[in-house]
Structure 1
Amino acid sequence: MTGHGHNEHNGHGHGHGHAVTIDADRRYLGGALALIVGFMAIEVVVGLAAQSLALISDAGHMLTDAVAIILALVAMRIAARPPRGGFTYGLKRAEIISAQVNGITLLLLSAYFIYEGVRRVIEPPHVEGLYVVVTGLAGIVVNLAATWLLSRANRSSLNVEGAYQHILNDLFAFTATTVAGTVVWLTGWAQADALAALVVAALMLKAGWGLVRDSGRVFMEAAPVGMNPAEIGQRAAALEHVVEVHDLHVWEVTSGYAALSAHILVTPGVDCHAVRLAAERLLHDTYGIEHTTLQVDHAPERPLPPGEADVHCADPHGPAHRGSSAV
């Protein structure tokens, strides 16, 4: 007897209230995007006029903020599309592709600003410190306004939270730029501008590496951070009547959307469906995994002869976890 179990719970509602929330989120994100893009254009012009690398690097950081918000808006629309054709999960992984692109962009920009920052520390150009201070203070105000708008949106959405963290991170960059501009303005020490640009580049490097690393784990079908497949297999094998758990796979479809599949062998004569329900309950309550596909079969009544393959799993992947019911 073979029992096949599938359990999926979708936590997103589709009622009128949910649509209103999505529309409000789009308005908040759209308002923050308009603020950032408008100020970014001004910052590039002032940065070039003042010969301030710190301002130009800040503008580069704001460009990634704008991209993060645009991707969040696009992901909201894509995530709402139902699966169709060959895309059986829908287009949920579009968020991961955008995170990878965003991360690589941050890494490339940080490399450029590190190169330029070091060059300007060695050969500092004349920098108009007052322009940098005024623009930096204005940038702090703009970022505070954008942060406030995004804080009103639904931050339980990973897209919105990612954009929010981007802009919050940019506040540190503007603070460093403003301090550097004040030093240049009051003391004439032009290297302060380049040092501030290096601080911004370091922030971009950290954020970029985090995005590339985390999105890379999803593309490589790695288990979600904090989930240990061996532990999950052992816990499932410890359930009553379970003989063995193998071919266990756990991965992320997209951020916060974990999925698991496994083959479970149970004591001959036991109700397969009851064991499947117990396993699903364990996975949901302990690990928060709501999308599971479990194949539950009775274990062979006699051990297989040497060299004879299991008819169900001729080539099982990963370790086999033996249960207390194993003989």
Structure 2
Amino acid sequence: MAHDHDHSHHAGQDSQRRLAWAILLTGGFMVAEVVGGILSGSLALLADAGHMLTDTAALALAWFAARISRRPADEKRSFGYHRVQILAAFVNGLTLIAIVVWIFIEAIRRLLSPVAVMGTPMLAIAALGLVVNVVVFAILHAGDRDNLNIRGAALHVLGDLLGSVAAIVAALVILATGWMPIDPLLSVLVALLILRSAWKLTRESGHILLEGAPDELDAATLRREIPEQLEAVCNVHHVHVWSLTPGRHLVSLHAAIDEGEDRQAALVAIRTLLVERYGLDHATIQLESRHQCADAPEEGAGRQG
């Protein structure tokens, strides 16, 4: 447990450091991209600049969440502050979806009323933006893969990276052919790519906030397999499985055991099985006598939590 705590502490510090660098790079370049978007008249650049503005706020939120989550548990929050990172990921997912809606609306307006775009400054700023976004994405992508907060921040930056690529392609097409609709059309393509990832992030973080069962575990499996593995246990019911964070799952259950069995030994056996077979190191177990097996309610395999 001490090793897990040290690993979690180190991972938290690493996440904070990566997010701080991402904030500095993204926020610094955002100003240049806003100016460039206005001067060139490019929706692709303005959309990317607007995205980078929200990214800076999203990265700041992720940094704050990473910092708060390292606080120890207290009397009012016995599980600590780990869920703050999940909440930040959920907010970032919703923000990404809102950005996609804005890009769609603005693209339709541009298609109906075309705006002249200056290809040369658009190309220069988009190319510089691509370099910055690649660096920031690499910093975040090398972080904790199981941390939804870091994943949410990385998705924001990935959206920026794709936006920069789209702006570069649009600028080259405009310089070569003068065809202005390429700018809003590529913006819509990038928005669709962002939407897919944003929906996945929002769904995953929302599932955890609703205390849904993790994908790799379900109550039906535990109800069936624990009695199969342990002879002393005749029935398992009232099973609830949920996640504190993506890599930290919790369970509570009632276990009915045979008469005459050592209750303490049965409890230890159940805990050991939960840890070794399912990776559930935080379990709340209520032991009951065998005669209660017949009274145990039948439960479906729906939501557990």
Scaled by the length of structure 2, the TM-score of the pair is 0.87
C-alpha distance 143-213 of structure 1, shift in aligned 2 (>3 A): same
More helix by share: 2
Taking the aligned partners of 1:217 and 1:9, their CA distance within structure 2 comes to 29
Q: Which residue of 1 aligns with 2:96?
A: 106
Structure 1 position 188 matched with structure 2 position 178: yes
Q: Which amino acid aligns with 1:318?
A: E
Gaps of 5+ in 2: none
Tell me: CA distance 1:135–1:197, structure 2 relative to 1, closer, same or farther (3 Å). same
SS at match of 1:300: helix
Letter in 2 for 1:121: L
Q: Indicate yes or no: 2:2 matched with 1:12.
A: no
The structural deviation recorded for 1:161 is: 4.3
CA distance in 2, matches of 1:130, 1:82: 53
Shift of 1:28: 3.5
Q: Percent identity?
A: 37
- Any idea what the Cα deviations from partners look like across 1:76-106, whole Å, max 9, x if unmatched? 3212212223222122211122122111211
| Residue 292 (1) aligns with residue 273 (2) | no
Letter of the structure 1 residue corresponding to residue 108 of structure 2: V
| Inter-CA distance 235–67: structure 2 relative to 1 (3 Å threshold) | farther
Please say if residues 19 and 63 of structure 2, whose CA atoms lie closer than 8 Å, have aligned partners that are also in contact. yes
Higher relative contact order (CA 8 A, sep 6+): 1
Q: Structure 1 residue 9: deviation in Å?
A: 7.9
Matches within 5 A, 1:171-320: 171-239=161-229, 240-300=231-291, 318-319=299-300
Aligned partner (choices 20, 29, 32) of residue 22 of structure 2: 32
Give runs of ≥4 in structure 1 deviating > 4 Å: 21-25, 151-158
The alignment covers a number of residue pairs equal to: 300
Matched, 1:76 2:66: yes
Structure of larger gyration radius: 1
TM-score of the two chains, using structure 1 as the length reference: 0.82
8 Å contact kept, 1:9–1:290? no
Whichever residue aligns with residue 13 of structure 1, its letter is: D
For residues 121-176 of structure 1, the C-alpha deviation after alignment (integer angstroms, 9 at most, x for no partner) is: 23221111222211111111111222343356555644334433442453223212
Any gaps of 5 or more consecutive residues in structure 1?
Answer: 1-7, 305-309, 321-327
